[in-house]
């Protein structure tokens, strides 16, 4: 039996949920390291270029598409043309069975470290503790070495929390959770900023390594590629999430304002979170008498090796700082995780009219079972490979295809007209030019450069077989499943939509 479509109770609830999806672990540990690696404040030039050229235009595209078609990604694309439905499936499948499988495990690590913070269990040698004691990491992606019980337990807890939140309809589940989570996240983050800036050596580090620009570094294509990849990942673009969330909005809503606010709040949060990283590591470097560049690390090492070390060196209230820091990571992770699940659940219920509660339950069970591969001793290596291919190929390719379909098949004028009719902030023809030419053109160049680099030098030195099995095949299987799902026909009433006469003239 088909269920009545859920709806947000307020625009604030929608905005907090969208921001919650966008703000995740990457804002905290990835952006700060990238700013250090790619020129300090000079990195803001490619970063904000990516925001203007790709971030906001595609955010507006996904909001408008979901709102106009009142459907999940596969339903929205099927309403444009049933031949493009597979793209609508590819995005949430990659989000759910690509990103969420390993993302839930990383949130599980954060939960473990949250409890370790109470007695600083990681000890003096945080690197050895993380790799050898906690992960017991293997030397190859195929040397699984069994499941790590502490990690699989915390991962199960993550899936349980996500199930509890997603089980109910959107307004009573995700909206209520984000109304609690996001203000708490902002308050804790602000507290950590003020605390870290008062540490000895923090101010110098923030100025020298974060705010001071190194203009020479941004001349590299690698920097621009990294900026665009980070923008896609951090804004949850290409996942189908924003299409899904926008489909629950009422008829009259300010799509443009919401797109701008979601994008800008997310980027501002990244800048603020970066301050915490540079201030805390600046203190750590001075306390150890080391150079800043020798101390800072990227990705998980920053959160689980460098930060625990810095927390241990704090002059007072070490445990409290650690508890707050890892609580911030858990909240940011959960708010993003529920959106990854929701995008796929909405697609399934739209297509097959399954009961939502049963669908969420089955999806979370399958998701947990799938994520166990990342709880093995080779989990970190697998995560690294899968994340690279999904972020640099899956999401960017999804963005290109979105632009092509909206720009050339539906016609961008149709969607722009819909946006301008629903809110007070109007969009002009420049958006059409971006969606049809500039944004997909830039993304194609970035995709080509990434592919050329990976072909010339295997990513991070991994064996070619490992990259093919866990990177290429992960995307290929997702694509095959997406195509297979399109063979099941839609109920005719699902695809019905009343177009205005002038819109029909623009449709291909």
Domain with residue 420: its CATH number is: 1.20.1740
pLDDT the model gives residue 501: 45
Q: Percentage of the chain surpassing pLDDT 90?
A: 69
Is 20 within a domain? Answer: yes
What's the pLDDT band for 110 if we cut at 50, 70, 90? very high
Q: Measure the CA–CA gap between 248 and 300, rounded to whole angstroms.
A: 34
Is 375 within a domain? Answer: yes
**Could you give the number of structural domains in the chain?**
1
pLDDT at 504 over 60: no
Instruction: Give the domain extent around 180.
Output: 11-207+224-285+296-504
Is 217 within a domain? Answer: no
> Is the separation of the CB atoms in 378 and 142 below 8 Å?
yes
pLDDT at 295 over 50: yes
Is 291 within a domain? Answer: no
246-255, 280-289, 295-304, 380-389: segment of lowest average pLDDT: 295-304
Please report where in the chains the tokens 């203190």 appear, as a residue. 283
Between 213 and 368, the higher pLDDT residue: 368
Is 101 within a domain? Answer: yes
Is 131 within a domain? Answer: yes
Q: Measure the CA–CA gap between 292 and 284, rounded to whole angstroms.
A: 8
Q: At what angle do helices 149-167 and 318-352 cross, to 10 degrees?
A: 50
Q: Measure the CA–CA gap between 312 and 284, rounded to whole angstroms.
A: 9
Model confidence pTM above 0.95: no
- Helix, strand, coil in percent for the chain, rounding step 5: 80, 0, 20
pLDDT digits (tens, 9 = 90+) for 468-500: 999 999 999 999 999 999 999 998 888 876 544
> Is the separation of the CB atoms in 14 and 249 below 8 Å?
yes
pLDDT at 505 over 50: no
Is 391 within a domain? Answer: yes
What are the residues whose beta carbons fall under 8 Å from the beta carbon of 135, sequence distance 6 or more?
A: 148, 151, 377, 379, 380
52-56, 193-197, 408-412, 458-462: segment of lowest average pLDDT: 408-412
- The distance of Cα 110 from the centroid of its chain, to the nearest Å, equals 17
Q: Measure the CA–CA gap between 113 and 494, rounded to whole angstroms.
A: 46
Is 473 within a domain? Answer: yes
């Amino acid at each position: 039996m088909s269920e009545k479509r859920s709806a947000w109770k307020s625009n604030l609830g929608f905005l907090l949920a969208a921001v919650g999806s966008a703000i995740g672990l990457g804002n905290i540990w990835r952006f700060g390291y990238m700013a250090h690696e790619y020129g300090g404040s000079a990195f803001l030039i490619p970063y904000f270029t990516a925001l203007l050229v790709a971030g906001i235009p595609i955010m507006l595209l996904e909001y408008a598409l979901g709102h106009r078609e009142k459907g999940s990604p596969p339903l929205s694309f099927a309403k444009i043309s049933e031949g493009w439905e597979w793209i609508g499936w590819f995005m949430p499948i990659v989000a759910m069975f690509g990103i969420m499988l390993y993302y839930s495990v990383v949130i599980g690590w954060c939960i473990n470290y949250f409890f370790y913070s109470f007695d600083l269990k990681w000890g003096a040698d945080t690197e050895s503790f993380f790799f050898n004691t906690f992960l017991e990491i293997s030397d190859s992606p195929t040397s699984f070495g069994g499941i790590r019980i502490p990690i699989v337990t915390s991962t199960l807890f993550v899936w349980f929390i996500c199930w509890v939140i997603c089980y109910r309809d959107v307004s009573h589940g995700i909206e209520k959770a984000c109304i609690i989570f996001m203000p708490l996240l902002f308050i804790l983050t602000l507290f950590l900023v003020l605390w870290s800036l008062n540490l000895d050596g923090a101010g110098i580090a923030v100025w020298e390594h974060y705010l001071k620009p190194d203009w020479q570094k941004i001349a590299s294509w690698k920097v621009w590629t990294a900026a665009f990849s980070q923008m896609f990942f951090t804004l949850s673009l290409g996942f189908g999430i924003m299409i899904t969330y926008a489909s629950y909005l009422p008829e009259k809503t300010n799509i443009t304002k919401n797109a701008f606010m979601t994008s800008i709040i997310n980027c501002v949060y990244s800048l603020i979170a970066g301050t915490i990283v540079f201030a805390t590591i600046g203190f750590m470097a001075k306390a150890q008498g080391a150079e800043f560049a020798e101390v800072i690390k990227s990705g998980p090492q920053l959160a689980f090796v460098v930060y625990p070390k810095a927390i241990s060196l704090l002059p007072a209230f070490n445990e409290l700082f650690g508890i707050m820091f890892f609580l911030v990571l858990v909240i940011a992770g959960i708010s993003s995780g529920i959106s990854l699940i929701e995008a796929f659940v909405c697609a399934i219920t739209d297509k097959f009219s399954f009961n939502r509660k049963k669908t969420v339950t089955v999806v979370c069970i399958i998701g947990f079972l799938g994520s166990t591969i990342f709880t093995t001793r080779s989990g970190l290596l697998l995560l690294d490979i899968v994340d690279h291919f999904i972020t640099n190929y899956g999401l960017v390719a999804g963005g290109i295809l979105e632009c092509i379909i909206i720009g050339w098949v539906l016609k961008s004028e149709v969607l722009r007209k819909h946006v301008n009719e629903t809110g007070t902030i109007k969009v002009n023809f420049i958006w059409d030019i971006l969606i049809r030419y500039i944004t997909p053109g830039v993304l194609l160049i970035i995709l080509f450069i990434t592919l050329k680099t990976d072909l010339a030098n295997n990513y991070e030195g991994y064996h070619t077989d490992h990259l093919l099995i866990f990177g290429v095949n992960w995307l290929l299987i997702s694509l095959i499943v997406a195509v297979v799902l399109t063979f099941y026909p839609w109920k005719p009433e699902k695809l019905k939509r009343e177009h205005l006469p002038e819109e029909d003239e623009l449709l291909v």
